[in-house]
Amino acid sequence: MKTFVILSDSHGKKSAVDKIAHLFAENDYIVHLGDGSADMRQTVSAYPEKTYVLRGNCDFSYGAEECVIEAEGVSVLCCHGHRYGVKGSLDRLAYRAKELGCEVALYGHTHRARIDELGGVLLVNPGAIGAYADASYCYLVVHGKKATATIVPLS
């Protein structure tokens, strides 16, 4: 079993990231999906082997455009989502995930937490962890060949 803590759209609100920092040590992967990627510099220093930071449309110099994480035979595409038009449709993101052989696609950008399945791809948006009315993050468990996502409100 592998576990992920997934967050996105902190937008400079490092205090929001700090609220869940106690979870980082106990999980196998830490993923920030962009727009506030610099908020993760301390986390990258503490957990360089398991932290993945993506660059969003508001990030200019820190983070990868996209990456694929392999966990227990499940391929997970990570991106911010703006390049795939996720505010309008998830079709392009699902297509890109399938193109890369991924069963799961993680994305942010919309500031709205949601979990969908499209064409056999699990699409997960953790919502925005920054200063928004419904701040949240996601806990993802991969066990065997199955991925299960849970949206967690930030209290």
Segment 107-140, tens digit of pLDDT: 999 999 999 999 999 999 999 998 667 899 999 9
Please name each of the domains of the chain with its CATH number: 2-153 (3.60.21.10)
What's the rounded Cα separation, in Å, for the pair 71 and 56?
Answer: 23
State the pTM of this model. 0.97
Render pLDDT for 59-86 as a digit per residue (tens, 0 to 9).
988 899 999 999 999 999 999 999 999 9
Tell me, what's the pLDDT at 18? 96
Cα–Cα distance list, 4 to 95, 107, 133, 141 (Å): 23, 14, 24, 6
Tell me, what's the pLDDT at 61? 81
Percent of the chain with pLDDT over 90: 92
Write the CB contacts of 64 (distance below 8 Å, at least 6 apart in sequence).
Answer: 52, 53, 54, 55
Give, rounded to a whole angstrom, the gap between the first and last alpha carbons of the chain.
27
